[in-house]
């Protein structure tokens, strides 16, 4: 099934950024001549192997095609890794100059002392996250780079002194993009305490600040300071684990700094600074506007401020205590970076200044292979269009985001209406009525079909889906009670039932394959009215539930609130009749998978007969 259709969310539909074999951190700045300049860490081997180095490429057609790569550092030299770009803003003597910052194993260290639980001989030979943090400059839009590289000094802190070398050799790397505030440049850095199980055994974030980067023509004369002022960097909340890394920063409208970052606690962390990074608020776990903590593994979580004054954050929407309490959480937490979800952020007034309030998420990118890990993105806005870059460590790509998805996110907090697009069944047709117990079931779109254009007549993946939207008045739960059912005697079709946990479960069957997934347990209450939307999304092959306006994320009961259905499922058109049980007070069926934001809008906008 190689057909990826027109679904922009499939990463296979993106435009590839050429690299060698390994591909990491495809980050972009726009040059003064309008080109996109992309920095990427690449190499002929796997991540961390010798020959890993930094290159840049230029595109003049929004990432569709790219120039030949230019070596910032050669593959024949010591490891050069994890580059980020910053362009000097207009109004400064160095306006238009581009700076590239990266790790460099300048001293060609070939092994470092490490924990024996992961390295039996006591040495780690992956050496791309230590040494010197350096930069080069380009005054021609990234076509060439300075021959000289320049060291950025960093203050020795507690985490450095605790490493096996007492801080004389520092362990670190970076994925966070630099930013500018009040004429100063700020570069992110993730300090590392040691190497062992899970590779990095402890980590925390700092900023490297320069007040003269944009005014000093001689890069050797640029000065730097390390923030925050304390001996400790940005860490996890009290009681959290030892991992706080891959910090991503934005500057809010009142000048506050906001940072979010990955942990192994099952949730992303977040902090604010009101004084330019010198001190920071107590760290906490990032949460939705309704107060529920977001779930996230040990994967990059990024934040961007857009030109419309809103924000987007990238994360993976699973985790919680199932990562935090796992005995192998340092390693296990790296898994499950597919699909990618986005939330929209809005500034609100907090007790100390502006804060970010986050929407509920939408799936933005996926791959058909669930083991593929999608990460290390960048965001580019141009002419009202929004693009994301990403990598799955072999190929880097550029994707233009669907404006329909973005608009839905921007409107999520106040949209209240019954969505009509794709509606193929609506019951009852007026408020005073009740649905009939049996109706003729309209056809649902198939997921797969035979591709007669192929020589082997194999499978064409249509990437279609459907949605059930219900108003429920629940009696005392009866396990196994079917609320909706169009299955034939052989089981082909779909059903919606109350399972043994009192949760609502959808059953999908094409006569060959059966899949099922349920909403979170202990949510539906006997005697209560509920609004339930079940989205069956044939793009990523994922089922989601929105109950009373909340997308289910598994809460404390399970790691995932969303579930996958079989990619071999052909269709769920069963018998001609849909049987409807009395607890169903209203029903809508759509011939497409609704967005989370649309399900929330329906919940707010539905008539009282469907709430």
How far is Cα 471 from Cα 479, in angstroms, rounded to an integer? 19
Q: What digits encode the pLDDT tens for the residues 272-331?
A: 999 999 999 999 999 999 999 999 999 999 999 999 999 999 999 999 999 999 999 999
Which band of pLDDT confidence, cut at 50, 70 and 90, is reported for residue 526?
confident
pLDDT of the residue at 4: 73
Q: What digits encode the pLDDT tens for the residues 568-605?
A: 999 999 999 999 999 999 999 999 999 999 999 999 99
* Residue 253 maps to a domain: no
* Residue 17 maps to a domain: no
**Contact of 104 with 30, CB cutoff 8 Å:** no
CATH classification at residue 473: 2.60.120.200
Do the strands 340-349 and 354-358 form a parallel or antiparallel pair, or are they unpaired? Answer: antiparallel
Pair of tokens at residue 358: 């986050």
* Residue 296 maps to a domain: no
**Is residue 477's pLDDT more than 90?**
no
Q: In this structure, is the dihedral angle defined by the CA atoms of residues 387, 391, 392 and 395, taken in order, positive or negative? A: positive
Q: Name every residue whose Cβ is closer than 8 Å to that of residue 9 and which is 6 or more positions away in sequence.
A: 339, 363, 364, 365, 366, 402, 539, 540
pLDDT of the residue at 474: 81
Which of 154, 155, 149 is closest to 104 using CA atoms? 149
**Is residue 430's pLDDT more than 80?**
no
Q: If you average pLDDT over residues 63-86, what whole number do you get?
A: 98
Q: Provide, rounded to the nearest whole percent, the portion of the chain with pLDDT above 70.
A: 98
Q: What digits encode the pLDDT tens for the residues 200-219?
A: 999 999 999 999 999 999 99
Q: Using the 8-state DSSP alphabet, how is residue 601 labeled? A: H
**Contact of 117 with 196, CB cutoff 8 Å:** yes
* Residue 200 maps to a domain: no
**Is residue 609's pLDDT more than 60?**
no
303 HSE (CA, 13 A, CB side): 28
Which of 16, 41, 46 is closest to 27 using CA atoms? 41
pLDDT of the residue at 2: 47
Tell me the β-bridge partners of 425: 589
Q: If you average pLDDT over residues 395-411, what whole number do you get?
A: 98
Pair of tokens at residue 58: 């230029």
pLDDT of the residue at 449: 97
Pairwise pLDDT comparison (5 vs 33), residue with the higher score: 33
Pair of tokens at residue 343: 């939330």
How far is Cα 391 from Cα 19, in angstroms, rounded to an integer? 11
**Contact of 188 with 145, CB cutoff 8 Å:** no
How many structural domains comprise the chain?
Answer: 1
Pairwise pLDDT comparison (4 vs 598), residue with the higher score: 598
Cut 0.95: pTM above it: yes
* Residue 589 maps to a domain: yes
Average pLDDT over all residues of the chain: 96
**Is residue 611's pLDDT more than 50?**
no
* Residue 473 maps to a domain: yes
**Is residue 390's pLDDT more than 60?**
yes
Q: In this structure, is the dihedral angle defined by the CA atoms of residues 361, 365, 367 and 371, taken in order, positive or negative? A: negative
Pair of tokens at residue 147: 């021959």
List Cα–Cα distances, 249 to 46, 148, 234, 338, 423, in angstroms.
Answer: 28, 28, 12, 23, 41
pLDDT of the residue at 527: 86
Q: What digits encode the pLDDT tens for the residues 109-158?
A: 999 999 999 999 999 999 999 999 999 999 999 999 999 999 999 999 99
How far is Cα 340 from Cα 377, in angstroms, rounded to an integer? 10
pLDDT of the residue at 428: 86
* Residue 454 maps to a domain: yes
Structural domain for 592, as ranges? 423-610
**Tokens 């979580």 sit on residue:** 301
pLDDT of the residue at 121: 98
How far is Cα 560 from Cα 545, in angstroms, rounded to an integer? 12
How far is Cα 593 from Cα 546, in angstroms, rounded to an integer? 12
* Residue 451 maps to a domain: yes
Which of 146, 201, 198 is closest to 171 using CA atoms? 201
């Amino acid at each position: 099934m190689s057909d990826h259709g027109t679904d922009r969310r499939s990463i296979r539909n993106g435009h590839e950024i050429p690299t060698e074999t390994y591909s990491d951190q495809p980050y972009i700045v726009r040059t003064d001549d309008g080109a996109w300049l992309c920095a990427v860490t690449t190499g002929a081997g796997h991540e961390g192997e010798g020959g890993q180095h930094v290159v840049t490429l230029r595109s003049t057609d929004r990432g569709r095609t790219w120039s030949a790569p230019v070596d910032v550092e050669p593959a024949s030299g010591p490891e050069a890794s994890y580059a980020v770009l910053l362009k000097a803003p207009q109004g400064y003597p160095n306006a238009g100059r581009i700076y590239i910052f990266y790790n460099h194993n300048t001293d060609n260290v070939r092994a470092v002392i490490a924990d024996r639980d992961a390295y039996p001989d006591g040495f780690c030979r992956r050496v791309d996250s230590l040494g010197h943090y350096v930069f080069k400059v380009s005054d021609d839009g990234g076509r060439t780079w300075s021959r000289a590289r320049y060291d950025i000094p960093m203050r020795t802190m507690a985490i450095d002194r605790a490493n096996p070398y007492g801080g004389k050799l520092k362990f670190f790397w970076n994925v966070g993009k630099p930013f500018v505030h009040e004429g100063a440049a700020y570069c992110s850095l993730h300090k590392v305490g040691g190497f062992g199980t899970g590779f990095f055994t402890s980590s925390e974030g700092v900023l490297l600040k320069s007040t003269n980067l944009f005014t000093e023509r001689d890069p050797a004369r640029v000065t730097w300071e390390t923030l925050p002022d304390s001996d400790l960097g940005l860490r996890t909340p009290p009681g959290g684990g030892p991992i706080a890394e891959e910090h991503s920063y934005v500057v809010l409208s009142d000048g506050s700094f906001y940072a979010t970052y990955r942990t192994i606690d099952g949730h992303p962390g977040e902090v604010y600074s009101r004084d330019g990074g010198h001190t920071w608020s107590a760290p906490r776990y990032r949460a939705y506007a309704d107060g529920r903590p977001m779930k996230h593994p040990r994967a990059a979580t990024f934040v961007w401020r857009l030109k419309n004054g809103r924000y987007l954050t990238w994360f993976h929407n699973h985790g919680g205590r199932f990562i935090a309490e796992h005995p192998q959480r340092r390693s296990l937490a790296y898994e499950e970076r597919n699909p990618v979800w986005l939330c929209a952020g809005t500034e609100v007034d907090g007790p100390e200044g502006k804060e970010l309030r986050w929407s509920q998420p939408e799936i933005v990118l996926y791959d058909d292979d669930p083991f593929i890990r999608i990460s290390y993105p960048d965001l580019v806005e141009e002419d009202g269009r929004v693009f994301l870059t990403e990598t799955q460590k072999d190929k880097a790509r550029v994707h233009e985001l669907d404006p329909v998805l973005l608009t839905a996110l921007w409107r999520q907090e106040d949209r209240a209406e019954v969505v009509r697009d794709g509606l193929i069944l609506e019951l009852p047709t007026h408020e005073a009525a009740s649905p009939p117990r049996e109706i003729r079931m309209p056809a649902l779109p198939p997921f797969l079909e035979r591709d007669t254009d192929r020589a082997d007549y194999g499978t064409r993946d249509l990437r279609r889906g459907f949605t059930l939207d219900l108003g429920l008045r629940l009696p005392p739960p009866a396990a196994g009670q079917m609320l909706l059912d169009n299955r034939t005697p052989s089981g082909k079709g779909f059903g919606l039932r109350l399972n043994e946990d009192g949760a609502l479960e959808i059953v999908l069957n094409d006569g060959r394959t059966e899949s099922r997934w349920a909403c979170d347990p202990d949510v539906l209450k006997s005697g209560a009215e509920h609004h339930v939307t079940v989205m069956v999304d044939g793009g990523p092959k994922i089922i989601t539930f929105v109950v009373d306006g909340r997308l289910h994320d598994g809460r404390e009961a399970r790691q995932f609130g969303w579930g996958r259905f079989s990619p071999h499922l052909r269709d769920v058109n069963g018998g001609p009749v849909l049987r409807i049980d009395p607890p169903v007070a209203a029903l809508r069926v759509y011939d497409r998978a609704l967005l989370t934001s649309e399900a929330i809008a329906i919940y707010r906008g539905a008539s009282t007969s469907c709430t």
